[in-house]
Amino acid sequence: MVQQHGDRAALEQRIVALQGSLMRAQMRSQAEALIDQHLTLAQFRAILFIHAHPGRPTAEVGAFVGVRPNIATGVVQRLVDRGWVARERHPDDGRVRLLRPTPAGRAFVDAVVAEVERDFVTRLAALSVEQLAALEGILTTLGVAAAPEDGAAAPVAPAPGADAGEA
């Protein structure tokens, strides 16, 4: 058991490094989806955002992706051209277009998520039942700590360096 503050800091650093390694491994399957579908990272992040937040305007997609509004419009247009995103008029402001994933867009995101989950389940197979139970408790604690107070789904973080005021 860790007894000293310095030991805790070193342990936390090792955990962060291990968690980073796990994330990079999981990102490989996402990168394969990008390559297979000839998507840019901005397009991939945009379809993920639109899937998670249907009915949001292009400006919010741009803020999430970390690009200016004119670039966000082009990113969204590529997704519309693929048949993955549909635009609809905002009911109160006809100048604004709200974005929703089409069935094909939902299917793409669902397939990527399923692949990441399969990869994670494969990694979990190396753990004992006791280790799985401990991991469940830890992840539950971390998830509760990160959840918004209103009980809604945790928001998706914007891209590093994104300026929400630009979109």
pLDDT digits (tens, 9 = 90+) for 82-106: 999 999 999 999 889 999 999 999 9
pLDDT digits (tens, 9 = 90+) for 123-163: 899 999 999 999 999 988 888 766 654 444 444 444 444 44
Answer whether 22's CB lies under 8 Å from 124's CB: no
Answer whether 47's CB lies under 8 Å from 109's CB: yes
**pLDDT tier, 27 (very low <50, low <70, confident <90, very high otherwise):** confident
Nearest in space to 109 (alpha carbons), one of 150, 52, 156, 162: 52
Which residues are within 8 A (CB) of 111 and not within 5 positions of it... i.e. 6 or more apart?
A: 33
Answer whether 34's CB lies under 8 Å from 116's CB: no
Say yes or no to pLDDT of 80 above 70: yes
Distance CA 8, CA 6 (A): 5
pLDDT digits (tens, 9 = 90+) for 39-68: 898 999 999 999 999 999 999 999 999 999
pLDDT given at position 124: 93
Q: Yes or no: is domain 25-145 CATH 1.10.10.10?
A: yes
Q: What is the dihedral of CA 82, 32, 48, 118, to 10 degrees?
A: 130
Nearest in space to 87 (alpha carbons), one of 56, 112, 64: 56
